[in-house]
Structure 1
Amino acid sequence: MSLSLSPSAEQLPSSAPLPEDLEQGSSLWRDAWHRLAKNKLALFGGIVLIVLTIACIAGPWFSPYSYEETNLNNTFASPSAAHWLGTDQLGRDLMVRLLYGGRISIGVGLCATFVALTIGVVYGATAGFFGGKTDSVMMRIVDIMYALPFTIFVILLMVFFGRNIILLFVAIGAVEWLTMARIVRGQIMSLKKMEFIEAARSLGLGKRRIIFRHMIPNVLGPIIVYTTLTIPAVMLLEAFLSFLGLGVQPPMSSWGSLIKDGAEKMEEYPWLLLFPGAVFSLTLFSLNFLGDGLRDALDVRSSKD
């Protein structure tokens, strides 16, 4: 006795699809990396920042000159084989001072941004999560601090507590966290009404754990983007303070103090301003290119490739 298959049964596939034939899922971070890799300006900015950072850290080790070594017989020397970027008014090698100044400027940018990031994220997340009167009081404090001139606030801190490089990190970071707090607050207020937060509350999780384990990790995209845009703002503020003579003190140097010294002699010795200004501008452009690229790459509304 033979069995005949129905027409519908004959049309069934003979075998199930193999696992390698199935489309593999992709995470948000992987998609973001693919989009960032296609942004040539962002990649250029990232490469320039890596090269400059390595040069500032390792470059002075290979130089025969010290950043504080003076030679009054060789002041204001133009760029040459002995001094690639020339010398300053005390005969110090400008290239070595430029690399050491990069350590200070980049260090201030990173450390002060870390201070601003820590304060702003915790403050904004707390205000956004609790809401109500707590949020109202906390954000009014932010509004009051916004009304104060940032530069004057930093100058007052340095006048009362003295001038040192550590205080410079803290002073600048203490006035750059306000915008970060507002950004994080807005993101947290939109997140706290979502289902996974309600589920965490129903499971009896503490408020601190909900904020730090469930909410802040979900706003890392905007935080990372704003962080890359805060670093150049911090470096500009440090350069401005150094230009006013309130930044790092001699014989140490930063890019801001080198630009200040170059501006005073720019008519007779233009290289004293040209080289520090060019490196500082290149760094700021690179940071902004990278920040714009990260903003586009981490945008969840971007279409998948």
Structure 2
Amino acid sequence: MSTPAANPPAAEHGSSPWHDAWLRLRRNRLAVTGGIMLIVLALACLIGPWISPYDYAEQDLDNTFAAPGAKHWLGTDQLGRDLLVRILYGGRISLGVGLCATFVALTIGVIYGAVAGWVGGRTDAVMMRIVDIIYALPFTIFVILLMVFFGRNIVLLFVAIGAVEWLTMARIVRGQIMSLKKMEFIEAARSLGFGNRRIIFRHLLPNALGPIIVYATLTIPAVMLLEAFLSFLGLGVQPPMSSWGTLIKDGAEKMEEYWWLLVFPGALFSLTLFSLNFLGDGLRDALDVRAAKD
């Protein structure tokens, strides 16, 4: 006859906070829809220009301003170039600017904010005053000056936009680090003799990933909007390359006669921004500690 000691009860397996966050994110239909739409759009922009029978710079002067039809599904522009392939190619540029500039902003902001929050004291005060001074500068004018001074280069565009989008991230990370460095596990790491670099990158930043991820998803649409604005002013991507901003600029000049030049790139750009914002809002709710307690 078996005894309770011989058959101990099965151990209960807990779930990690990241697993719980994933479950909450899956229940958010708007966030899931936004994520799926982003994947579909990214794959279409990546694969579409390769399988299209037209090149993004191929001109057909005998078929300019063609309306959407069987030959050109979304019509052609003033040089007879297929609008669909140019929109998909422009998506590569716009999404690339959003991702790369956000990466630059994250790299600068996370390191800057982590150092300021961890060191504290006068160092923190000086670093944050520098952030306040830069905040007082008009971002758009600062980027325009960088583009004019260093030249119109697509790589510089990534760096220039990222260089003005890191300030809010620095403040967010600083606040997280200042609250986390008072926790007991940080005191334990200090007592074990761990160096500042290890504590920051191995203990503090991993515990601040939630707000960092959320802000990153919300930074991408802001960066894409800034790139579109610069392209609208003629300071962004240069011909024959195209981004959604340049396509919208070209379409706005001829929208009364050739509506498709504005409607299709504008619709795809808006859909991407909505998807990114839905996903960002969903991640914010999923990673919210207070939501985990409900």
TM bracket (short chain): over 0.9
Which of 77, 85, 89 is matched with 1:96 structurally? 85
Check if 1:105 corresponds to 2:105.
Answer: no
How many angstroms does 1:205 deviate by? 1.0
Displacement of 1:204 in angstroms is 1.2
Q: Return the TM-score normalized by structure 2.
A: 0.97
Aligned with 2:284: secondary structure? helix
2:74, 2:6 → 1: CA distance?
Answer: 65
Aligned residue in 1 for 2:218: 229
Q: 2:173 matched to 1:173? A: no
CA distance in 2 between partners of 1:19 and 1:144 (Å)? 64
Shift in Å at residue 156 of structure 1? 0.7
Kept after mapping to 2: 8 A contact 1:108/1:168: yes
Which whole-Å CA distance do the structure 1 matches of 2:260 and 2:130 have between them? 46
Q: Any idea what SS the aligned residue of 1:302 has?
A: helix
In structure 2, the residue corresponding to 1:79 is in which secondary structure?
coil
Is structure 2 residue 142 aligned with structure 1 residue 157?
no
Deviations 1:94-142 (A, max 9, x none): 0000000000000000000000000000000000000000000000000
How far, CA to CA, are the matches of 1:39 and 1:254 in structure 2?
A: 31
Which letter maps to 1:65? Y
Pick from 59, 65, 83: which aligns with 2:54? 65
Q: Deviations over 1:17-57 (max 9, x none)?
A: 96784432000110001000000000000000000000000
Q: 1:208 to 1:84 in 2, by over 3 A?
A: same
Q: Distance in 2 between matches of 1:238 and 1:35?
A: 33
Within-5 A mapping of 1:14-53? 14-15=3-4, 21-53=10-42
* Greater mean alpha carbon deviation, residues 18-27 or residues 182-191: 18-27
Residue 125 of structure 2 is aligned to residue 139 of structure 1? no
The answer to whether the aligner puts 1:83 opposite 2:76 as a matched pair is: no
Cα offset, 1:208, TM superposition: 1.1
Q: Which amino acid aligns with 2:34?
A: G
Q: Does 1:287 align with 2:256?
A: no
CA distance in 2, matches of 1:46, 1:16: 49
Once the two structures are superposed, the pairs formed by residues 235-250 of structure 1 within 5 Å of their partners are 235-250=224-239
* In structure 2, C-alpha distance between the alignment counterparts of 1:17 and 1:43, rounded to whole Å: 46
CA contact (8 A) 1:31 1:304 kept: no
| CA distance in 1: counterparts of 2:10 and 2:293, whole angstroms | 20
CA contact (8 A) 1:109 1:231 kept: yes
Tell me if structure 1 keeps the 8 A contact 2:109–2:168. yes
After superposing the two structures, state which structure 1 stretch, 204-213 or 107-116, moved more.
204-213
Task: Tell me the alpha carbon deviations over residues 213-259 of structure 1, each in whole angstroms, 9 at most, x when there is no partner.
Answer: 11011100000000000000000000000000000000000000000
- The corresponding residue for 1:264 is 253
**Deviation for aligned residue 1:61:** 1.1
Q: Which has the larger radius of gyration?
A: 1
CA contact (8 A) 2:250 2:261 kept: yes
> Equivalents in 2 of 1:109, 1:122: separation in Å?
20
Q: Relative to structure 1, is the Cα distance of residues 58 and 300 closer, same or farther in structure 2, using a 3 angstrom cutoff?
A: same
Q: In 1, Cα distance between the equivalents of 2:90 and 2:258?
A: 19
Q: 1:270 to 1:205 in 2, by over 3 A?
A: same
Which residue of the partner structure matches residue 8 of structure 1?
none
For the residues of structure 2 that align with 1:143 and 1:226, how far apart are their CA atoms? 19
Describe the superposition over 1:48-85 as per-residue Cα deviations: whole angstroms up to 9, x where unpaired.
00000000000111111000001111010000010000
- Kindly state the Cα deviation for residue 303 of structure 1 after the two structures are TM-superposed: 3.5
The aligned residue for residue 117 of structure 1 is: 106
- Which TM-score applies when normalising by structure 1? 0.94
2:75 match: secondary structure: coil
Q: After superposition, give the CA deviation of every residue in 1:176-226 in whole Å (9 maximum; x if it has no partner).
A: 000000000000000111111111111111111111111011100000000
Question: CA RMSD of the aligned region, Å?
Answer: 1.4
- Percent sequence identity over aligned pairs: 82
Matched residues in 2 for 1:194 and 1:300: separation? 16
Whole-angstrom CA distance in 2 between matches of 1:294 and 1:17: 45
Q: Distance in 2 between matches of 1:18 and 1:34?
A: 33
Matched, 1:273 2:262: yes
Identify unmatched segments of 5+ residues in structure 2: none
CA–CA separation in structure 1 for the residues paired with 2:227 and 2:208: 28
Superposed displacement of residue 14, structure 1 = 4.6
8 A Cα contact 2:20 2:292, kept in partner: no
Deviation of 1:260 after TM superposition, in Å, equals 0.2
